[in-house]
Amino acid sequence: MPSMHDSQTTRTISFADLTELLRQIFVRHGTSPEVARVLAANCAAAERDGSHSHGIFRIKGYLSSLAAGWVDGQAEPKVEDVGAAFVRVDAMGGFAQPAMQAAKALVIEKARNAGIAILAIRNSHHFAALWPDVEPFAQEGLVALSVVNSMTCVVPHGAQKPLFGTNPIAFAAPRADGQPIVFDMATSAIAHGDVQIAAREGRMLAPGMGVDRNGMPTKDPKAILDGGALLPFGGYKGSALSMMVELLSAALTGGNFSFEFDMSTSPGAQTPWTGQVIIVIDPDKGSGQAFAERSEELVRQMHGVGQQRMPGDRRYRQREQSLKEGIVLSADDLERLEALARV
Ligand code: NDP
Ligand code: PYC
Query: For 230-288, how does the pLDDT look when each residue is reduced to its tens digit (9 = 90+)?
Result: 999 999 999 999 999 999 999 999 999 999 999 999 999 999 999 999 999 999 998 77
Task: Report the pLDDT value the prediction gives residue 3, as an integer from 0 to 100.
Answer: 43
- The ranges assigned to domains in the chain are 1-67+312-343, 77-188+232-311
Q: Could you give phi then psi for residue 219, rounded to 5 degrees?
A: -105, 0
Task: For residue 192, give the amino acid letter.
Answer: H
> Distance between CA 242 and CA 169 in Å, rounded?
9
Q: In angstroms, what is the span from residue 98 Cα to ligand 1's centroid?
A: 22
Q: Could you give phi then psi for residue 13, rounded to 5 degrees?
A: -135, 145
> Distance between CA 178 and CA 254 in Å, rounded?
37
The pLDDT of residue 1 is above 50: no
The listed CATH number (3.30.1370.60, 3.20.20.70, 3.40.1670.10, 3.90.1300.10) that belongs to domain 77-188+232-311: 3.30.1370.60
Q: Is 152 left (phi over 0), alpha (psi -120 to 50) or beta?
A: beta
Ligand 2, residues at Cβ distance < 6 Å? 53, 127, 150, 166, 186, 191-193, 272
pLDDT tens for 314-340 read: 999 999 999 999 999 999 999 999 999
Catalytic residue among 53, 239, 295, 322: 53
If residue 276 lies in a helix (H) or strand (E), which one and from where to where? Answer: strand 273-281
CB distance 189 to 217 below 8 Å: no
- Average pLDDT for the chain: 96
287 belongs to the catalytic site: no
What average pLDDT does the segment 141-156 reach? 98
> Distance between CA 258 and CA 239 in Å, rounded?
14
Q: Burial level of 343, CB count in 10 A (0-12/13-18/19+)?
A: exposed
> What kind of fold does domain 1-67+312-343 have according to CATH?
Hypothetical Oxidoreductase Yiak; Chain: A, domain 1 (1.10.1530)
Which pLDDT band, with edges at 50, 70 and 90, does 2 fall under? very low
